[in-house]
Structure 1
Amino acid sequence: MKKFFLAAIGLSMLASCQQPAAVENTDKGIRLAYVRIDSLQSQYNYFQELVGELQAEEEKIIIELQRRQQELQTNLELYQQEAPKMTARQREANEADLRRVQQNYLQVEQAAQSQMMKRQNDLTLVMREDMNSAIEVLKEELNLDFILLYEEGGQIIYANDEFDITERMVYMLNENRDTPSEEEATEAAVEAADSA
């Protein structure tokens, strides 16, 4: 009985070795594909949405910083006009106020830059999570060992179009965003209930 069992296992292993590989792009060796990063960014709808949001936030921040800078410049010009008429004590007080306003402006500018960097990092993290989910599915479907990012002028000098899975990944990413997961649907419902 034991010999029969071992023989059956051996035959099934031999049979499985003779099956053709379930790979779309190669029969043997390293199985790889690549994604064109520029095409991915231009065709992935959610990425375009996030870029638009980020640009709108950046524009608001720039407008606010320009307003504050103009205000500082106006105060400085006013001080320069009035300084000859002021006493030494008044000049010192005005200069201290100008330094305080300038310091405040620099702090606001630095906070705005930090806020934008954090927002960019958060969006990058969301994108990476979306891509990782799609990569997991694609690597299983296509039995891939590597999925590379390809961009003009990058580290990869040449890439055969047969191994380009950009369209497939873009389709998958857009579909996943069009039909949110149960977790995302639940989060959206909670946010809607909170805002009501």
Structure 2
Amino acid sequence: MKKLSLICGVAVALAMGCFSCDKSEKKETASTSASSPASVEGKKIVFVNTDSLLTNYQFYKDAQKEFENKGYRLQVDLGQRERALQSELGAIQQRAQAMSQAELQAADMMLKKKGAEFQQYSQQKQQQLAQEQAKKNEELYNNIREYIKKHNSENKYEFVLGYTKVGGGILYADESVDVTKQIVEGLNKEYAESKTKK
């Protein structure tokens, strides 16, 4: 099954956009220190490498594994149902010469009905899985955004940009303003704590 679409959605959302945080706070003066966040006209700007964030965020890894398992189980279930229909068709074909025209028509109608039910079941289950993935994607996005908001209350960044090496809107990011490690560590700590509470 394909990787979580959320998850790509979050990467794109983070990579293409930025979070504007605490604009009401006093503007800080530009810093020349390499260890300080970048400043543009007094605005503190940092970035998060979205590729690393998703690769190292345990919530994402768990969600990805969960949906791979669900996708696999759905494929097995659908495969079994399809084989059962094929088996019924094969049995009818073997008996076809001994069946009357009315029996053949009844068998044909029954198989068509079962085939339509199978298609409906398949679409319903796939749609259900897609909705679960969308919900999990939203949860991932909210976890990241809420953690960044909390993290930012200490740091007073005005922008936290999402950076990705391929296909992102940011062409260059100075590693001295990369806060990915701190964000990932904080997110994983919160996620581990939430799992122990359950």
SS in 2 for 1:180: helix
Residue 57 of structure 2 corresponds to residue 49 of structure 1: no
Q: Which amino acid aligns with 1:26?
A: A
Distance 1:28 1:35 in 2: 17
Aligned to 1:59: 72
Deviates more, 1:63-72 or 1:23-32: 23-32
Aligned to 1:194: none
Q: Which runs of 5+ in 2 are unaligned?
A: 1-25
Displacement, 1:18? 11
> In percent, how many aligned pairs have the same letter?
22
Give 1 or 2 for the bigger CA radius of gyration.
1
Aligned to 2:182: 168
Distance 1:70 1:157 in 2: 51
1:153 to 166, 169, 172: 166
Deviations, residues 78-136 of structure 1 (Å, cap 9, x unaligned): 22222232111001110011011101110110111111111101211211221111110
Aligned to 1:81: 94
The 1:127–1:166 alpha-carbon spacing in structure 2 relative to 1, beyond 3 Å, is same
Q: Where does 1:32-47 land on structure 2 (aligned, <5 Å)? A: 32-47=45-60
TM-score between both structures, scaled by the size of structure 2: 0.75
Aligned to 1:9: none
The 1:62–1:18 alpha-carbon spacing in structure 2 relative to 1, beyond 3 Å, is closer
Name the one with the larger helix percent.
Answer: 1
Distance 1:120 1:26 in 2: 36
TM-score between both structures, scaled by the size of structure 1: 0.76
Aligned residues: 168
Q: Where does 1:1-196 land on structure 2 (aligned, <5 Å)? A: 24-29=36-41, 30-154=43-167, 155-180=169-194, 185=197, 188=198
SS in 2 for 1:71: helix
Deviations, residues 12-45 of structure 1 (Å, cap 9, x unaligned): xxxxx99856993134424322222221111111
